[in-house]
Structure 1
Amino acid sequence: ETRGVWIIEIAELDTMGRAEVSTIKAFMSRTQDRFRPPYGKRLVDLPRQCVFAGSVNPEGGYLKDPTGGRRFWPVVCGSIDISALEQDRDQLWAEARDRFCRKEPWWLETQALDGLASDEQSERYQGDAWDDLIESYLENDIEWMQNGLGEHRAYPRPRPSPLQDVSVAEVLQHALAIEKGRWTQADQNRVVRSLVSMGFKQTRSRNGGHGATAKRERRYRRQPATEAPR
């Protein structure tokens, strides 16, 4: 379906769920298509010659995967002068071909450009309602206290420095004040997505005891800015 097509639109990208976006990411990451041509006897692999463009509603975020934003280069499109494009089309393609033949980079080849793209991607990340609570816990020691109305309120005290290492259990208990008996796998997955979007990476460390008696605990450690997923 990609043969003979220059630009393929992925319409309403912002309405797709995480599973659909993951499928699209895997599809877009391929550099070749395998298919059997009409009347052909065997499958062939041919390089792609197209680009993909996703159209979205400009309101709110639409990048749902905290680790997959680097595959998207977000741009804001205003009004498009179709008549002017038709008039200058051949000239634009000629200039693009000339620059391609001179092997000018068409990708983000510098750290500065990579950083600009990262900023644009971050602005369009569809965060979770828990993100602010978790980020507050990373920067503040949270004490949950009950007020006179029987409601639990968070009282933060700034830490000397933000937490660099944390577990999902700590976040659920201290940042979100969820009792252990009420934890669900969905809750844990939400916490993991939030931590990953903030630049944390899963690690395993020994907790208590030595040798065979030591337990390996799954924790999340903040990565340097240059290594944080986008």
Structure 2
Amino acid sequence: MTKWLIAVVANAMDDLFCRNHTCLVLTGEQGKFKTTFLDLLCPVELKAYLFTGTIDPQNKDTQTLIAEYLFINIDDQLKALNKRDENELKNLITTPRVKYRRPYDTYIEEYPHLASFMASVNGNDFLTDPTGSRRFLPFEVEAIDIEAAKQVDINKVYSEAWWYWESGYRYWFDDAEIAELHRESEGFHVQTVEYEMLLKGFEKPSPTEESYMTTSEVLNYLRGYTTLNLSEKRMGEALRKAGFERKSRRIGGNPMYVYHIRKVFPNPFISSF
């Protein structure tokens, strides 16, 4: 949270680059004042530069929001984004500059990225891309004392954030912190049916056990126990997420990528019927 607040200051003061590469996300049950709390992060004097609502990542109007607002508070929309919109949103979070034509202007102009992103989600599972969680900084909300939050002088908070920025504080995440963010974000991922079936039907062999399968072989085995349309791409993501070791081995004289994996016995799909 500290890094994000300092990045808000850095982003607002830099006309050349986007300095805030993460979207602060509050998750949890409905009615926990998540959106209200996020709105409080914008000083009263700057409320005209706060946008709260839903956005269309593919719409050019969103480019205008990025250049003209200090905060974009996405209200309970992240779960509803399709894959294309999610990828576009991640691009918007980090794009250094935006281009659009203002009303009554003749030409398209380029403007610096001013806005910092934040969002609220009802429930916890909203991340769908196992490679993209670094753009989202999620916190599960159990309770918010909203009256106490209203008493916080947010101007003093940003004065301190300014001091940290001026002092050269590293507000961006290094590689180790990104890896930790990935681990901490696991509980916010949407669990695909591929991942659930993989964990039920397979396990890691001992280090010396010679047991290997390709993604297609794993997929074909699981397809025998479901009528659902399992995806090879999502299965590959599930194998990597579950931590199965990937190796290159020769099969029939040809090099192929395989996973060090074995089936669970007795067969859990049969015993569960």
Residues 8 and 130 of structure 1, relative CA distance in 2, 3 Å threshold: same
CA contact (8 A) 1:8 1:52 kept: yes
State the distance in 2 between where 1:3 and 1:52 align: 12
Q: Deviations over 1:40-69 (max 9, x none)?
A: 4433322212111121013x4110112111
Shift of 1:163: 8.3
CA contact (8 A) 2:247 2:258 kept: yes
Please name the residue that 1:35 is paired with: 100
Aligned residues: 192
1:20 is aligned, of 56, 61, 85, to 85
State the distance in 2 between where 1:199 and 1:43 align: 47
State the distance in 1 between where 2:112 and 2:69 align: 13
TM normalised by structure 2 equals 0.57
Residues 20 and 164 of structure 1, relative CA distance in 2, 3 Å threshold: farther
Please name the residue that 2:181 is paired with: 117
1:171 is aligned, of 218, 230, 247, to 218
Residues 41 and 221 of structure 1, relative CA distance in 2, 3 Å threshold: farther
Q: Does 1:54 align with 2:124?
A: no
TM normalised by structure 1 equals 0.66
Computing the radius of gyration from Cα coordinates, the structure with the larger value is: 1
Please name the residue that 1:135 is paired with: 199
State the distance in 2 between where 1:221 and 1:42 align: 54
Residues 118 and 165 of structure 1, relative CA distance in 2, 3 Å threshold: farther
Please name the residue that 2:68 is paired with: 4
Please tell me the root mean square deviation across aligned C-alpha atoms, in Å.
3.5
User: Higher relative CO (CA 8 A, sep ≥ 6), structure 1 or 2?
Assistant: 2
Q: Does 1:197 align with 2:234?
A: no
Structure 2 residue identity aligned to 1:35: Y
Unpaired runs of at least 5, structure 2: 1-64, 261-273
Residues 163 and 109 of structure 1, relative CA distance in 2, 3 Å threshold: farther
Q: Deviations over 1:129-187 (max 9, x none)?
A: 332432355525xxxxxxxxxxxxxxxxxx3238896422220234x1529xx996x53
Unpaired runs of at least 5, structure 1: 141-158, 223-230
CA contact (8 A) 2:126 2:188 kept: yes
Residues 67 and 95 of structure 1, relative CA distance in 2, 3 Å threshold: same
Secondary structure of 1:103's match?
Answer: coil
